[in-house]
């Protein structure tokens, strides 16, 4: 038997309603805030991620699925989608209109890491990107939308954690302070943190090794090194969030794992997820578009793994989304044709119908199938119904049933649905 590749999984029909619920909520809410959907290719030139994410990042160094095509070009399955969206923003000159461009995406990403619950090697991600403004109101409004999104999904309570990691003006001095702090302890750092110390010491805050985390708890705080412009920007973000009534916490040791972040960074913590409780993150990346050959277009955004959103949903979320309204039971071969006609009429009227043309199955077996699919109504066609030119309509919730002429089926269905 051939099975799926390790780190990839099937999403079965029994669970797909929760995914549809998450995606439908994203489509509806993001559009309300003026975001438009974008779809980028699943693979991109490897250079895009090396330049956009940073060659020293764990993603580029360890986790990318990279291969050569038949002409020897290096391609990579996208491990994240901010750099591809920025590439599309540049390539299609979306900046020429001079407007703020609000984009969102939903789609698969690929990272070669240890599979665990909610973190697979192929995973679906929902993200938003705002290009064209560095105003702190952009940060705050996008965060307000994110909190509203999680609330509409029923994912509560959550904690919004904020920090500012500065910019190219003030970050070098903070970087040097970290190097000065960590260098005397270099020998006790894990192998990854020794590499991070050389490439990007801020990433040492991401380390999961307990001894390194204890060491980083005493590291200098970036808040003490922010320049006046970065400090004022962060103060304004917080003031807007206060005005929106969005609760947040400050964590001066919160950093993001990608090179393009600057100024505002954030995470959302969901206590219900247990030890691995970081639900999503994001922030500002004002230099990314320029680093990829585009104009100096500021950016802000976030991304969340859809798997983790689905795991965080309350049990009742999306209940009924995939339930058919009517299940048709046909008893005997002569019932097949009128059953198909009834199904066709119902579907054209906008009703969801399931019908399995297996005439040799008993009434009991077909009723069990309707019950398993949680159909609201069962439409029965047997010898007696065919002889009389009628249908038997049964409401599953209370067992009430009625004999209905075929021409009155839709009217009776609506009447019984509201009874």
Q: Judge whether 8 and 120 are in contact, CB under 8 Å.
A: yes
On whether both 333 and 307 belong to a single domain, the answer is no
Cα→Cα distances 222→112, 114, 131, 193, 251, Å: 31, 31, 25, 18, 10
Residue 259 pLDDT: 62
Q: Judge whether 327 and 354 are in contact, CB under 8 Å.
A: yes
- In a domain, residue 22? The reply is yes
* DSSP symbol at 248: -
On whether both 104 and 24 belong to a single domain, the answer is yes
Question: Strand 65-68 relative to strand 74-77: parallel, antiparallel, unpaired?
Answer: antiparallel
- In a domain, residue 254? The reply is no
SS3 state of residue 10: coil
On whether both 304 and 345 belong to a single domain, the answer is no
Distance between CA atoms of 104 and 90, rounded to whole angstroms? 16
Which residue, 287, 312, 337, sits at the end of a domain?
Answer: 312
CB atoms within 10 A of CB 211: 13
Q: How far apart are the first and last CA of the chain?
A: 50
Q: Please list the pLDDT of the chain residue by residue as tens digits (419 residues).
A: 998 889 889 989 888 989 999 999 999 999 999 999 999 999 999 999 887 666 555 666 678 889 999 999 999 999 999 999 999 999 999 988 878 999 999 999 999 888 877 788 999 999 999 999 999 999 999 999 999 999 999 998 889 999 998 888 888 888 888 888 888 888 788 888 888 877 778 878 877 788 888 888 888 888 888 999 999 999 999 999 999 999 999 988 887 656 668 899 999 998 777 667 888 999 999 889 988 999 989 999 999 999 999 988 988 776 656 788 999 999 999 999 999 999 999 999 999 999 988 878 888 999 998 898 889 999 999 988 988 989 999 999 888 989 989 888 899 998 888 87
**Which pTM value belongs to this model?**
0.84
On whether both 306 and 340 belong to a single domain, the answer is no
Cα→Cα distances 270→81, 108, 155, 252, 308, Å: 23, 22, 8, 19, 10
* Structural domains of the chain, count: 2
On whether both 41 and 140 belong to a single domain, the answer is yes
On whether both 148 and 22 belong to a single domain, the answer is yes
Residue 257 pLDDT: 57
Question: Strand 65-68 relative to strand 43-45: parallel, antiparallel, unpaired?
Answer: unpaired
On whether both 303 and 412 belong to a single domain, the answer is no
Cα→Cα distances 101→133, 140, 365, Å: 9, 16, 55
Cα→Cα distances 374→321, 327, 396, 416, Å: 11, 9, 8, 17
Residue 319 pLDDT: 63
Q: Which residues, at least 6 apart from 222, have a Cβ–Cβ distance to it below 8 Å? A: 163, 164, 165, 166, 171, 174, 252, 253, 255
Q: Which residues, at least 6 apart from 119, have a Cβ–Cβ distance to it below 8 Å? A: 113, 276, 305, 307, 308
């Amino acid at each position: 038997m051939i099975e799926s590749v390790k780190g990839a999984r099937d999403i079965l029909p029994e669970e797909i309603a929760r995914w549809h619920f998450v995606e439908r909520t994203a489509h509806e809410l993001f559009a309300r805030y003026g975001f438009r959907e974008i779809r980028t290719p699943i693979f991109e030139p490897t250079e895009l991620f090396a330049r956009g994410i940073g060659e020293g990042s764990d993603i580029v160094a360890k986790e990318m699925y990279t291969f050569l095509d038949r002409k020897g070009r290096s391609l990579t399955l996208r491990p994240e989608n901010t750099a591809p969206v920025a590439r599309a923003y540049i390539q299609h000159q979306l900046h020429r209109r001079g407007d703020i461009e609000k984009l969102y995406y939903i789609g698969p990403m690929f990272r070669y890491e240890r599979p665990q619950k909610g973190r697979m090697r192929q995973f679906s991600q929902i993200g938003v990107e705002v290009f064209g403004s560095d105003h702190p109101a952009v940060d705050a409004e996008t965060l307000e939308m994110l909190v509203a999104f999680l609330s509409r999904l029923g994912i509560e309570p959550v904690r919004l954690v904020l920090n500012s990691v500065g910019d190219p003006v003030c970050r070098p001095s903070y970087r040097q302070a970290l190097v000065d702090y960590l260098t005397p302890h270099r020998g006790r750092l894990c192998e990854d943190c020794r590499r991070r110390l050389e490439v990007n010491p801020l990433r040492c805050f991401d380390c999961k090794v307990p001894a390194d985390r204890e060491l980083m708890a005493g590291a200098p705080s970036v808040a003490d090194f922010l320049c006046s412009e970065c400090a004022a920007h962060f103060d304004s973000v917080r003031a807007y969030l206060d005005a929106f009534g969005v609760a947040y916490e400050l964590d001066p040791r919160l950093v993001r794992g990608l090179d393009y972040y600057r100024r505002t960074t954030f995470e959302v913590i969901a206590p219900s997820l247990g030890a691995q409780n970081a639900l999503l993150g994001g922030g500002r990346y004002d230099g990314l578009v320029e680093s990829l050959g585009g104009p100096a277009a500021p950016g802000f955004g976030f991304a969340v793994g859809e798997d983790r959103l689905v795991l965080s949903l309350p049990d009742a979320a999306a209940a009924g989304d995939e339930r058919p309204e009517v299940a048709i039971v046909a008893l005997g071969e002569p019932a097949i044709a009128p059953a198909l006609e009834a199904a066709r009429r119902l579907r054209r009227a906008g009703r969801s119908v399931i019908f399995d043309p297996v005439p040799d199955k008993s009434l009991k077996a077909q009723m069990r199938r309707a019950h398993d699919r949680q159909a609201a109504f069962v439409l029965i066609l047997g010898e007696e119904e065919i002889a009389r030119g009628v249908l038997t309509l049964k409401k599953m919730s209370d067992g009430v049933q009625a004999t209905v002429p075929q021409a009155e089926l839709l009217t009776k269905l609506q009447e019984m649905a509201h009874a």
